[in-house]
Amino acid sequence: MTPSHVRVDGVAKRFRGREVLAGVHLLEQGGLITVLGSNGAGKTTLLRCLATVVEPDHGTVTIDGLDARHESERIEIRRRLGYLPQGDCLVAGSTAFDAVDYLAVLKGHRDDRRRRRAVFDVLDRVGLRDRASEPVEHLSGGMRRRLGLAQALLGAPALLLLDEPGSGLDPDERLRLREILTERRRTTTMFVSTHLTDEAAISDTVLVLDGGAVQFAGTPERLADVARGRAWVQHELPPPDVRASWRLADGRHRCLGTPPRGAELVAPTIEDGYLTIRA
């Protein structure tokens, strides 16, 4: 399978007079792209535009040469992608199997036997095969999130759009999510939004979204390197003008900002780079 080619040209979007996206440009094909940003940075709106759920006020979204502005091409785009929104859209009274099977029907899976096998395959991949007959309202929040992921994975889409997929997952479930993302990076173009910097560590590309615009695009290593020479540790209390600081287990303080003369510099992290860009 060939990963989807995604092109975003000057996409802008306003809600209630507030500019949420301010002329975003993207060109991506294949791999794991993490959209990193604080709450309200525009991550969800960007993914909704890519999923053709929201139409931009300005600019274009093109997936595999298909223009989302045209209805027939928009329908074809939706057949090619898997989308996990922030909130689930599960219907009370349906089972976990029903929730995924219904989506399979909508995506055109007509052969009952093949469709059933495809549904059980994705339920198994997210660890919910033994819960297939369970009503969705009986599932925990983490299980419902995994069920939404199963819906997104159905049919091995060439484009995956996952909005905060790790929300509500325990450590074991986060590890399973990481395995799923890693195994699909060669065959799929994946956009994953998060506000947690540690989740960006396995990315091929990190996009830092702030103020509705892409402030950084590059590897996790390049993002960390943005803060090289700006992170240090000291025993004394940090000065008030540091960008960020916290106390370590050994009693020292780790600081980010402009280091004083003779400071004990330390290797920067992805979080350091992210905070430096947003300073």
Q: Are residues 191 and 155 in the same domain?
A: yes
| Average pLDDT over every residue of 187-200 | 94
Tell me: the pLDDT tens digits for 119-149? 999 999 999 999 999 999 999 989 999 999 9
Q: Are residues 207 and 120 in the same domain?
A: yes
| Contact present, 91 and 141 (Cβ < 8 Å) | no
Residue 84 is encoded by which pair of tokens? 């996990």
Residue numbers of the domain that contains 233: 224-277
> CA nearest 21: which of 173, 170, 211?
211
| Average pLDDT over every residue of 230-258 | 94
Tell me: the pLDDT tens digits for 54-81? 999 999 999 999 999 999 999 999 989 9
Burial class (CB in 10 A: 0-12, 13-18, 19+), 276: buried
Q: For the chain, what is the domain count?
A: 2
Tell me: the pLDDT tens digits for 18-42? 999 999 999 999 999 999 999 889 9
Could you give the 3-state DSSP secondary structure of residue 85?
A: coil
Asked which of 187, 218, 249 is the last residue of a domain, the reply is 218
Tell me: the pLDDT tens digits for 76-114? 999 899 999 988 777 778 999 999 998 888 887 778 899
Could you give the 3-state DSSP secondary structure of residue 75?
A: helix
The CATH number given to whatever domain includes residue 190 is: 3.40.50.300
Tell me what pLDDT residue 111 has: 82
Q: Are residues 31 and 79 in the same domain?
A: yes
- Mean pLDDT of all residues belonging to the chain: 93
Q: Are residues 57 and 179 in the same domain?
A: yes
Q: Are residues 33 and 103 in the same domain?
A: yes
Q: How confident is the model at residue 239 (pLDDT cuts 50, 70, 90)?
A: confident
Q: Are residues 147 and 243 in the same domain?
A: no
Residues with Cβ within 8 Å of residue 221, at least 6 apart in sequence? none
pTM (2 d.p.): 0.93
* CA distance to 10, 26, 152, 156, 224, per residue, from 71 (Å): 20, 22, 22, 23, 41
Amino acid at 206: V
Separation CA 244–CA 231 (nearest Å): 10
Separation CA 35–CA 82 (nearest Å): 17
